[in-house]
Structure 1
Amino acid sequence: MIQSDYLKENPFLFSFVPMFYMVWADAILTPSEILKIRELIEQQVWITQKERTFLLSHLDPQNPPSPGQLKEWLFEIRRVSQDLTPQMKRSLVDIGIELARLNARNQDDKTLEAARAPLTDIEEALGILSREAAFHLRSQERTTQTGGQQTEASFDLNKMSELLDGKNRVVIRKVKTILSDPEFEYYKGESTAEYREQVLKWCQYLADQGFGGMAYPEAFGGQGDMASYFAIMETLSYHDLSMVIKFGVQFGLWGMSVYFLGTEKHHQQYLKDIGTLKLPGCFAMTETGHGSNVKGIETTATYHHKTKTLVINTPHHGAGKEYIGNAAVHGQMATVFAKLIIDEVDYGVNAFVVPLRDSDGHTVSGVIIEDCGPKMGLNGVDNGRIWFDEVVIPVENMLDKFASIDADGKFKSPITSDNRRFFTMLGTLVGGRIGIPRSGLSAMKTGLTIAIRYGDTRRQFGPENGSEVPILNYRTHQRRLMPLLAESYAIHFSLQYLTNRFLSRSEEDMQEIEAMAAGLKSFATWRTTHALQECREACGGKGYLSENRIDRLKNDTDVYTTFEGDNTVLMQLVAKSRLSEFKKEFSDINLFGVLSYVASQAKTSLSEMNPLTVRNTDPEHLLDFEFYLNAFRYRERDILTSAARRIKKHLDNGMDSFDAFNQTQYHMVNVGFAYIERLILEQFIAQVKKTEDEGCKMILTKLCQLFALSQMEKNKGWYLEHDYMAGVKTKAIRKMINQLCLEVRENAVPLVNAFEIPESCLAAPIAMK
């Protein structure tokens, strides 16, 4: 009990205790608060001057209550609050009056009721949120909507996993089983040399399972199954990414270059040994001085008529092959891209098989190799630099599917144009731009699984006297992770579509497929980089610990934004492809076609940009797939036509075409983004519509809506500038995103569990089941 003569003489003074406790609970009492309370206490006619002095003595910052006294006050407050009605518990004044009434032992309380108004004045003067303060003072558990959000699957997890895996489910499950074997326990040492050997050992295990040569014809030890090869690459990416890249270099870049650019004799000689890893090799295209500009490489392959040989030579140090996987230690041969020179005539870039080392690991005469050394990530891959000093190879080592040298030493090719031949040759290697984003997506899924599982179990903060709340229940946390979860599903289905288009390609489709692959590779790897940073931060200090693997995922995937082409350069290639299609569309139509296009644009303006649509905030409209498609397509078309007009204006003013494209590079990148975002949306919607299971369809619908609205919110400045949406509509979109994040949160853990990442691959203590 609180001991004080003044309180014994006038128990009604107990009514001040709750507010006095709250004043001192934060140990800060400002001068203005002291003056205001003093003024209000002086006005109370129901207390004596001595009692006023007693009360005011508890407002001296130089003489605050002792910790013991505060605890006494809190004990009394909580004791009495247990007997209050739910409504009374919400008010500091009610708690104070009941405390006074209890200590007055049911004496006449008219004076106490008369004190209600001035007590309320004091409470308001202090700026105390009465309901919140009352929760702080009560001992009962407090329940809130935020604390009540729980994980609850609204769909069949197995059916979702089957949908994600598609036709490749059998091989995906087999790979996951292999990865769960103890032999694939992560390397935890610090020796780069040991790490590289461990990665090689893993790749050998995989080759022994037949995974390496999966895409090669059966006659050469494979199964002729390119779809399974892509699925294997994506699934392996749940494990160590150094292993994935070495696997991709060996069986993808090195093996596929021989397969796609070579002919029967090369297949017979090399493919089986490549698929079994008996013949480790490299893909030597990039040069230090030219980077993404493959057409400008300077390595030469000079034909000698007398000996019928080719001499591979690096003309100067800056023309060395740069950052070549498998080169520093293990590579024995390489597909080398070089300019073919016959009788001093340059026949453009071609591909040649060139030996690097013998079977004992010694470099062959004329080959100089230097280790690239430590990297930001992927240190299990032995990247190296290669120079050639007059290395002689037989003419048969030229990969001659698209160009060859005949018996008379003459250049032959079914494709007359050097440019067309060059791009046809590179087009056959577009598979790398499919494998890299699929690998990056697996890393993104891993990061999201770690962050979302952790967010569902990690409790922090919460209401006063209530349980701590899972951090995944906080809106800011949901806003960080739920749109990324939706994005991972969106990218997954678009990459499935791209893969299927590539596998069933025709020659007429190739330009579109190449643009699609370049754009999706850029978009997916950029989003992977962003997502993993968000996941790291969302896990706090735990995300910074190496044991939880996000650091490795971040470091290893960072280079994906420049692997297989720098993303910014690739987005410009996408834009150029779209402009070519745009130009072709108009060159192929007559006057009536032009009039039809103009009428179509006018119809768009009337239907989508009328004042009612621009300001429409109805939930039904904001959740409508047709609204999303119209908005994405309109943005893509407008940006494309704007870029075309800008380039044409520069050209009409006499600017060189190279300078004209340089002046519009920023707009060109936006053309690429608009195209890819529209493509991803279309494929997500197509997947939702063809999904048969109602539970899966319902949650995929929400994910698709969240993806679409999140992209609109990201681009809202553009939509506002172009009067496609009014401010009231973008605000409504923000509100709808919040609601969708809340709804998706309930299924977030089941949605990441549907990825079925092996626990041994996940390996993060904060995310283990």
Structure 2
Amino acid sequence: MVDAAVRSESTSNAAEHTEAEPAIDVQRVNDLLMGTWAHTRRTSREMIKDSAFWRDDSLGMDAHRERVLSQLHLLVQNSAVHRAFPRAFGGDEDNGANIAGFEELVVADPSLQIKAGVQWGLFGSAVLQLGTAEHHEKWLPGIMNLDIPGAFAMTEIGHGSDVASLGTTATYDPETDEFVIHTPFRGATKEYLGNAALHGIAATVFAQLITNGVSHGVHCFYVPLRDENGVDLPGINREDDGHKGGLNGIDNGRLSFDQVRVPRTNLLNKYGDVDASGTYSSPIDSPGRRFFTMLGTLVQGRVSLDGAASWASALGLKIAITYATQRRQFDGADGHETVLLDYGKHQRRLLPRLATTYAQLFAHDEFLQKFDAVFSGRSDTPDDREDLETLAAALKPLSTWHALDTLQEAREACGGSGFMFENRLVGLRADLDIYVTFEGDNNILLQLVGKRLLTDFAAQFKDKDAASLARYAVEQTAGRVFHGAGLRQFGQAVADLGSTARSVEYGLREEQQHEMLADRVQQMVADIAGRLRPAGRDKVLGEKLFNENQAELIEAARAHGELLQWEAFTDAVNDVDDEDTKQVLTWLRDLFGLQLIEKHLAWYLINGRLSAQRAASVSRYIDRLCRRLRPHALDLVDAFGWEPEHIRAPIASGAEQQRQDEARAYYAELEASGRAPISEKDLKAKNKR
């Protein structure tokens, strides 16, 4: 962290900074950000202070892959990967702690985080969640101690996020009591699989289960890839993906299968089984419900990506804001060069993104609590699982998109220094790029959320009589004119409050922010539902209308995710007792809420939620909030809780402050000595006099 002298220097010129400024309790804010499993996060952070876990930027792809594999063995030695597994096998059965500790690995090397996720969060979790006791006893010990490195073979070249349409088949042969795993065409090749190119000796393969001439949909099979001598088994075709845009410490590759036979008992049969005669059975009668239940057991990938992306954004902002409080550029009115973060534009670039990162971290902890409640069994109903799936599909897109945006802006805000690989930002940006399509393309995930919102909206009218529906239709017609007239009070003239800026401050505080954000979601969903209603049971028309409204539905889902983040931020603020800390976090929450309103100002204007005058003042008030938060910027990034071993960026080490101090001392001494040259500009001004 920046020492006291540097901190004093870096905030001395901050706008609106006085001795009366509140000061946050950094440790209390750190506790809030670390969340429910703070102890596990700190344990993980202490472990990765060891340089053996760090990314070595000098390594080529092949050496990087081998280093990351060796790091996985270090994780095993440190008992860092067993938290979610059953106690009978040496685990802790602590799902929330498992994800929390795993997310922290992104700071060491994102390749390490993702390869660990492939091994234990996907491959191992598939065996754990989709298999039964026989499978657990046979394979979990080797998966846990890395004797069985494995791949998670779901994604196909030709189907991507459309898992239900996978082309790989698993056809039961009753004569040999075996399933025949087969890739019938090139588009059914399993693609982008971690551990597939080199290290994997087995895979959990998702394929269409066919028995007695009937396809029962996608199921998961444990498929050995190599024999005891390390040679690929007959029918296993393996290809190396080679260099990628990032995460080159992971041996991603392709797998295809040419009539590969596995025992019938290699079907992970928790949700669907085939007996020796070929008869299929399942505890879930509905094929659709069965499919989504099986996929739902693997939701932890999206959970962990949401958290890891949020912490990666935090690291980028820690580096960029620390640098911005030390680096000076261009002479100010006082004759000294100005600290970057004292420029209004620089504040606008970084502080709203800091507010969003806080919101995402608070939302992630609530998300993780929900995940833990479901997977521990404390609150595991079909409705709970559906809610968890919707949360995952709403939050993961927002955090991963935000990470790319934040890391890019942080890089640019650090100029040429940000482009140097040693300062972490370009490497993080490259590695995080794939997160937006990992575990489902972000737009597809938001479409899932949108469909859920439409379903919940329709449920309001289930079993309603004709009179109720007629009243709703009349209200909606009025709504098209006034569009929520109850909120127009926040768009009226503001002369009574004396100034537009003050009217925004008093008129868009917590309650009003929530009302505006929530109303936008509700109105968008209602409007879309109204446009879809004419389709009725006409599937052709329904598809046409849905496609026409798809973009807006995804935008409504995104607005829903932003609302969830705002609410989580507000919950965190309300959990703070210290008044100074609460005040600063309230400003930061307001910055998050108002920049969401600013981002969607066109919608609020078109739909009558804000007057043009009030809309114009929103941006000016955001600028005021940035100036208010400027003196607290270092405290707010220090609250992320990282030590130098985690940051490892020279421009955030204090070196820039030392350079600036040296330069200022040099010029001060030169001026005092009387040997300082006179500038041509000053000389000409003097001669004119």
Q: TM-score, normalised by structure 2?
A: 0.87
Distance 2:176 2:538 in 1: 54
Q: CA deviation at 1:665?
A: 1.3
- Give the conservation status (yes or no) of the 8 Å contact 1:650–1:660: yes
- Give the conservation status (yes or no) of the 8 Å contact 2:569–2:589: yes
Match runs of 1:268-307 below 5 Å: 268-307=137-176
Partner of 1:697: 582
Name the amino acid aligned to 1:550.
L
Partner of 2:94: 225
Aligned partner of 1:741 among 626, 639, 649: 626
Is 1:372 aligned to 2:241, yes or no? yes
Q: CA deviation at 1:189?
A: 2.4
Aligned partner of 1:609 among 488, 494, 509: 488
**Computing the radius of gyration over CA atoms, which structure comes out larger, 1 or 2?**
1
Name the amino acid aligned to 1:574.
V
Partner of 1:457: 326
Name the amino acid aligned to 1:694.
E
Is 1:312 aligned to 2:197, yes or no? no
Q: CA deviation at 1:664?
A: 1.4
Is 1:385 aligned to 2:264, yes or no? no
Aligned partner of 2:531 among 628, 642, 646: 646
Query: Which stretch of structure 1 is more off in the superposition, 538-547 or 618-627?
Result: 618-627
Distance 1:593 1:701 in 2: 41
- Give the conservation status (yes or no) of the 8 Å contact 1:621–1:627: no
Partner of 1:137: none
Partner of 2:437: 562
Is 1:706 aligned to 2:585, yes or no? no
Distance 1:614 1:414 in 2: 62
Aligned partner of 2:417 among 538, 542, 563: 542
Give the SS at the match of 2:35.
helix
- Give the conservation status (yes or no) of the 8 Å contact 2:14–2:631: no
Match runs of 1:404-423 below 5 Å: 404-423=273-292
| Alpha-carbon spacing, 1:654–1:319, altered in 2? closer, same or farther (3 Å) | closer
Distance 2:537 2:196 in 1: 49
Distance 1:565 1:696 in 2: 38
Q: CA deviation at 1:658?
A: 2.5
Partner of 1:626: 511
Q: CA deviation at 1:671?
A: 1.5
Q: CA deviation at 1:208?
A: 1.5
Q: CA deviation at 1:454?
A: 0.3
Aligned partner of 2:460 among 582, 585, 588: 585
Is 1:665 aligned to 2:557, yes or no? no
Partner of 2:661: none
Gaps of 5+ in 2: 1-10, 375-380, 655-689
Question: What percentage of aligned pairs have identical amino acids?
Answer: 39
Partner of 2:674: none
Q: CA deviation at 1:481?
A: 0.3
| Alpha-carbon spacing, 1:313–1:591, altered in 2? closer, same or farther (3 Å) | same
Aligned partner of 1:553 among 385, 405, 428: 428
Give the SS at the match of 1:350.
strand
| Alpha-carbon spacing, 1:499–1:611, altered in 2? closer, same or farther (3 Å) | closer
Give the SS at the match of 2:453.
helix
Q: CA deviation at 1:677?
A: 1.3
Match runs of 1:71-82 below 5 Å: none
Cα deviations by residue, 1:209-256 (Å, 9 ceiling, x for unpaired)? 112121011101210011111111221111200000001001101111
Cα deviations by residue, 1:370-421 (Å, 9 ceiling, x for unpaired)? 0001000000000000010111111111011100012432000011222111
Distance 1:701 1:208 in 2: 43
Q: CA deviation at 1:747?
A: 1.0
Is 1:719 aligned to 2:588, yes or no? no
Query: Which stretch of structure 1 is more off in the superposition, 520-529 or 646-655?
Result: 646-655
Name the amino acid aligned to 1:709.
L
Q: TM-score, normalised by structure 1?
A: 0.78
Match runs of 1:18-37 below 5 Å: none
Cα deviations by residue, 1:563-609 (Å, 9 ceiling, x for unpaired)? 00011111111111111111112114456765887779979934312
Gaps of 5+ in 1: 1-142
Give the SS at the match of 1:347.
strand
Match runs of 1:203-214 below 5 Å: 203-214=72-83
Matched positions, count? 627
**More relative contact order in 1 or in 2 (CA 8 Å, sep 6+)?**
2
Say what the alpha-carbon RMSD is for the aligned residues. 2.3
Distance 1:153 1:620 in 2: 19
Distance 2:108 2:385 in 1: 32
Distance 1:478 1:455 in 2: 9
| Alpha-carbon spacing, 1:357–1:623, altered in 2? closer, same or farther (3 Å) | same
Partner of 2:613: 728
Partner of 1:679: 564
Q: CA deviation at 1:562?
A: 0.4
Query: Which stretch of structure 1 is more off in the superposition, 399-408 or 658-667?
Result: 658-667
Distance 1:637 1:614 in 2: 26
Cα deviations by residue, 1:636-671 (Å, 9 ceiling, x for unpaired)? 111101111222245588843333222211111111
Partner of 2:637: 752
| Alpha-carbon spacing, 1:728–1:653, altered in 2? closer, same or farther (3 Å) | farther
Give the SS at the match of 2:207.
strand
| Alpha-carbon spacing, 1:422–1:690, altered in 2? closer, same or farther (3 Å) | same
Distance 1:745 1:356 in 2: 56
Distance 1:150 1:285 in 2: 57
Name the amino acid aligned to 2:395.
L
Distance 1:494 1:355 in 2: 39
Aligned partner of 1:495 among 345, 355, 364: 364
Match runs of 1:49-64 below 5 Å: none
Partner of 1:523: 398
Distance 1:386 1:536 in 2: 37
- Give the conservation status (yes or no) of the 8 Å contact 1:311–1:390: yes
Q: CA deviation at 1:205?
A: 0.7
Aligned partner of 1:656 among 541, 547, 550: 541
Partner of 1:7: none
Give the SS at the match of 2:219.
strand
Name the amino acid aligned to 1:736.
Y
Match runs of 1:232-243 below 5 Å: 232-243=101-112
- Give the conservation status (yes or no) of the 8 Å contact 1:186–1:240: yes
Name the amino acid aligned to 2:402.
R
- Give the conservation status (yes or no) of the 8 Å contact 2:53–2:71: yes
Distance 2:176 2:12 in 1: 85
Name the amino acid aligned to 1:586.
F
Name the amino acid aligned to 2:588.
L
Is 1:394 aligned to 2:263, yes or no? yes
Distance 2:26 2:300 in 1: 31
Q: CA deviation at 1:264?
A: 0.9
- Give the conservation status (yes or no) of the 8 Å contact 1:478–1:742: yes
Give the SS at the match of 1:197.
helix
Distance 2:628 2:226 in 1: 58
- Give the conservation status (yes or no) of the 8 Å contact 2:15–2:630: no
Cα deviations by residue, 1:52-106 (Å, 9 ceiling, x for unpaired)? xxxxxxxxxxxxxxxxxxxxxxxxxxxxxxxxxxxxxxxxxxxxxxxxxxxxxxx
Give the SS at the match of 1:609.
helix
Give the SS at the match of 1:237.
helix
Distance 1:380 1:288 in 2: 22
Query: Which stretch of structure 1 is more off in the superposition, 148-157 or 708-717?
Result: 148-157
| Alpha-carbon spacing, 1:150–1:541, altered in 2? closer, same or farther (3 Å) | farther
Cα deviations by residue, 1:91-148 (Å, 9 ceiling, x for unpaired)? xxxxxxxxxxxxxxxxxxxxxxxxxxxxxxxxxxxxxxxxxxxxxxxxxxxx996678
- Give the conservation status (yes or no) of the 8 Å contact 2:344–2:627: yes
Query: Which stretch of structure 1 is more off in the superposition, 190-199 or 160-169?
Result: 160-169
Q: CA deviation at 1:171?
A: 1.6
Give the SS at the match of 1:386.
strand
